[in-house]
């Protein structure tokens, strides 16, 4: 029957690593903060557990055998990995706190992201998790996120309504529409049009504004971040049509928000929660409602001024 060997402990490996670098037992003992006699005992214990010789003595020096050297080399790698894992564990502990996870979708300039962080009376902490276009509802249902906000055509039956809204255009400040004070359908004929997707949704700008005029953009560029779309228009020109509420808070230097020519196109923002939301999730939704109302009031004061 084969003898049963015991495994080494971390203290044995640490001593072998120290021996590899020092070549002397006394120095290795100092490196691991034990006496020379304790180091000698620990080394013998390691050899007994494995059933193999780990060192040979040459005068006053001690040399690792091939087996000992292998253990020391692998052990040193393990030491580094363990230290890294310990630091990662400390880092992860900093993130281990109650938080409501909000879906961060295309409308990443909306006030319920950056402005929400600035509130001092939030019911709990908040995380923003990036989700793909049209995946907000699914992310909440699958418990990837806890709360999302979507924009819908006004004709769709109402659900958990956050705010009514309407569509507006965004152009660079040197665009003719900026000087004219409104976006006309024909403005996109020679322009790059920035949008989140290439499949138009009924009730939005394609079917309600551009299609009736029989026009389409010179170039369509898909960008799944409104913040990025605004930066691209500022740098290279182009046009986008978006809900006005999503444009209340982002930096608009060099850009102009203009109404669409003709009748306004109404849309609606709704909050997405699960059927069994936690109290913190409901409280966060209420905080977002208050934030949107504050933005609406602020905008009314600005327009009145």
CA distance 146 to 212: 39
Averaged over 148-170, what is the pLDDT?
Answer: 95
- What digits encode the pLDDT tens for the residues 121-142? 888 899 999 999 889 999 999 9
Residue spans of alpha helices (H) in 52-187: 66-95, 114-117, 136-141, 176-180
- What digits encode the pLDDT tens for the residues 252-293? 999 999 999 999 999 999 999 999 999 999 999 999 999 999
Residue for token digits 């909000």? 102
CA distance 281 to 59: 71
**Which CATH code for domain 10-95?**
1.10.10.10
SS3 39: helix
Residue for token digits 């060192």? 55
Indicate the fold that domain 100-304 takes in CATH. D-Maltodextrin-Binding Protein; domain 2 (3.40.190)
Confidence of residue 143 (pLDDT cuts 50, 70, 90): very high
Confidence of residue 1 (pLDDT cuts 50, 70, 90): very low
SS3 159: coil
SS3 30: helix
- pLDDT at position 57 is 86
Phi, psi for 212 (deg, rounded to 5): -60, -25
Nearest to 149 by CA among 226, 258, 202: 226
Query: Which residues have C-beta within 8 Å of that of residue 163, sequence separation ≥ 6?
Result: 245, 268, 269, 292, 296
**Kindly report the CA angle at 33 between 27 and 35, in degrees rounded to 5?**
70
- For all residues of the chain together, what is the average pLDDT? 91
| Domain residue ranges of the chain, discontinuous segments joined by + | 10-95, 100-304
CA distance 258 to 278: 40
């Amino acid at each position: 029957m084969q003898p049963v060997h015991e495994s080494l402990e971390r203290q044995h490996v640490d001593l072998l690593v120290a021996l590899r670098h020092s070549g002397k037992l006394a120095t290795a003992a100092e490196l691991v903060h034990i006496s020379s006699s304790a180091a000698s005992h620990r080394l013998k214990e390691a050899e007994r557990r494995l059933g193999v010789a780990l060192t040979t003595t040459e005068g006053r020096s001690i040399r690792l055998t091939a087996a000992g050297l292998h253990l020391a080399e692998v052990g040193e790698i393990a030491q580094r990995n363990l230290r890294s894992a310990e630091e990662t564990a400390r880092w992860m502990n900093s993130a281990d706190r109650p938080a409501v996870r909000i879906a961060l979708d295309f409308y990443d300039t909306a006030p319920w992201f950056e402005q929400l962080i600035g509130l001092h009376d939030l019911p709990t902490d908040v995380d923003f998790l990036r989700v793909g276009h049209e995946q907000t509802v699914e992310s909440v249902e699958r418990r990837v996120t806890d709360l999302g906000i979507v924009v819908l055509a006004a004709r769709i039956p109402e659900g958990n309504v956050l705010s009514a809204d309407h569509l507006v255009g965004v152009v660079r400040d040197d665009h003719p529409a900026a000087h004219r004070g409104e976006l006309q359908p024909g403005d996109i004929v020679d322009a790059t049009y920035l949008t989140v997707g290439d499949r138009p949704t009924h009730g939005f700008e394609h079917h309600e504004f551009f299609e009736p005029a029989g026009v389409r953009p010179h170039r369509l560029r898909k960008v799944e971040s409104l913040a990025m779309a605004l930066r691209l228009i500022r740098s290279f020109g182009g046009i986008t049509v978006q809900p006005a509420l999503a444009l209340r808070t982002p930096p608009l230097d060099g850009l102009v928000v203009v109404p669409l020519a003709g009748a306004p196109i109404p849309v609606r923002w709704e909050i997405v929660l699960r059927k069994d939301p936690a109290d913190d999730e409901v409280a966060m939704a209420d905080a977002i409602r208050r934030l949107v109302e504050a933005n609406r009031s602020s905008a009314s004061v600005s327009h009145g001024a």
